[in-house]
């Protein structure tokens, strides 16, 4: 150990959403070949802290754990695809998370609790940081896809890796904090509607994407 670690705060979507994103990754390989994030499981990144003393992170998480557990789970809505433009003619295609008043209010509270200064734009990367030539091949296939899926986030996950000597950049599970306030669930949706959405995803798995 070097005494310093990096930390990644994220959400992991439920299994049916992870499988759906994996299908789009697999379909993308047929058009552009292997790419760096093709085996990365679906996730929503919130914040990354680099070169931190583990005992300080432990202390901080213990201090805010109660406030996080007092938050309700949040209902998010995946709504089609968009993309980011990066430096050096690189692009990232991602599943867009629709903005709603309930979601914005919830994320505002989360940012305050975690002391995140920058804006948080929740999204699920599908094809990350690819050259412009590959992006131009792929984007027409994603552009008009109507991927409308609701899903719940019930917990915050923290990953850890050693700051130095991490050539592979491998992250390890560190701490999971559940959102326990089920009485005030943010963006409520009935169980029946949630089950119907899962059934629709299962039916679509038999259909070729592109």
* Domains, the chain: 5-204 (3.90.1140.10)
Q: Which long-range contacts (CB under 8 A, 24 or more apart) does 161-170 make?
A: 161/5, 161/6, 161/8, 162/1, 162/2, 162/4, 162/5, 162/6, 163/2, 163/4, 163/5, 163/6, 163/50, 163/51, 163/52, 164/2, 164/4, 165/2, 166/6
pLDDT band of 86, cuts 50, 70, 90: very high
Please report the pLDDT score of residue 65 as a whole number.
97
| pTM to 2 decimal places | 0.85
Q: What is the pLDDT of residues 112-166, one digit of tens each?
A: 999 999 999 999 999 999 999 999 999 999 998 988 999 999 999 999 999 886 5
């Amino acid at each position: 150990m070097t005494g310093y670690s990096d930390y990644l705060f994220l959400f992991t979507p439920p299994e049916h959403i992870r499988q759906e994103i994996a299908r789009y990754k697999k379909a993308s390989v047929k058009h552009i070949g292997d790419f760096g994030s093709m085996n990365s499981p679906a996730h929503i990144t919130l914040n990354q802290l680099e070169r931190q003393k583990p005992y300080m992170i432990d202390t901080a998480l213990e201090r805010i754990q109660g406030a996080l557990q007092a938050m309700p789970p949040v209902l998010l809505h995946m709504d089609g695809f968009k993309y980011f433009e990066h430096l050096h003619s690189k692009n990232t295609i991602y599943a867009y998370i629709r903005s709603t008043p309930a979601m914005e209010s919830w994320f505002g509270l989360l940012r305050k609790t975690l002391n995140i200064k920058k804006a948080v734009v929740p999204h699920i990367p599908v094809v990350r940081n690819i050259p412009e030539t590959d992006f131009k091949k792929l984007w027409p296939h994603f552009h008009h896809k109507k991927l409308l899926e609701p899903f719940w986030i019930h917990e915050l996950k923290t990953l850890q890796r050693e700051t130095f000597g991490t050539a592979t950049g491998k992250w390890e599970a560190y701490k999971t904090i559940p959102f326990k306030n089920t009485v005030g669930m943010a963006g409520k949706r009935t169980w029946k509607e949630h089950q119907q959405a899962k059934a629709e995803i299962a039916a679509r798995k038999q259909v070729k994407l592109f």
